Amino acid sequence: MSNYRFLLQYDGGRYKGWEHQPGTDLTIQGKLENVLSKLTGEAVEVIGAGRTDAGVHARAMTANAHFETQLTETEVRDYMNTYLPEDISVREAKIVSDRFHSRYNAVGKTYRYTCYIGETKPVFDRKYVYRLEKRPDLSAMREAAGFLLGEHDFMSFCSNPKMKKTTVRTIDRIDILEKSSYLTFTYHGNGFLQHMVRIITGTLLEVGYGERKPSDMESLLLAKQRALAGFTAPACGLCLIRVDYQ
């Protein structure tokens, strides 16, 4: 039995997220496992590097699965792309060490949140951006983002009140850039909590609109209370860009 590593991209707009959900087959994990089970004739478990939320997209999600097949790596990739929905693509399928685990071996992730600040409607990008009514103050948001860099307890930016594991994470980069009619927030860190990137983005936008001060971010970290942080930005603007491995 070989361990296959997959590099995936998907449009998460119509899915309930990565992970299996009771009562629905509209999950990324479910679609992948269904196709691989047909290929092998046996149940196959697919492990993802993370669990993207409902409506969130990915340009480079890493996953792995153990199974047996006589097909080559390229044939496995092509088989999956033939039978997967058009909004899920396998870019690469490679046999790797049996010890490789897409989640446990990941050392970092990059997420990008995209807002649209143009004057007219973004017809062709409307499913992948959060349209803002006005341009926020980038300088204020960048100042606020500086308080989030480093290792902190991000409980205030986690939507799961029953989180049993540690909510301490490290963010080493937050880039806020404006180009043409688009505003992007790019985050790199060693891991992210449920809705964490979207809550941080919503909170930074509130700073950008003058509803909060940049220094408020420091007190939010200390408070460890989700109710005190900003709104959760819509899922459509969020995309997993890359997963890092050593």
Positions annotated as catalytic residues are: 53
- Contact status, residue 102 vs residue 65, Cβ threshold 8 Å: no
- Contact status, residue 205 vs residue 133, Cβ threshold 8 Å: no
Strands (E), 57-127: 57-67, 88-96, 106-116
Phi first, then psi, for residue 69 (nearest 5°) are -165, 155
Phi first, then psi, for residue 217 (nearest 5°) are -60, -35
| Cα distances (angstroms) measured from residue 121 to each of 95, 129, 153, 183, 231 | 44, 11, 38, 15, 23
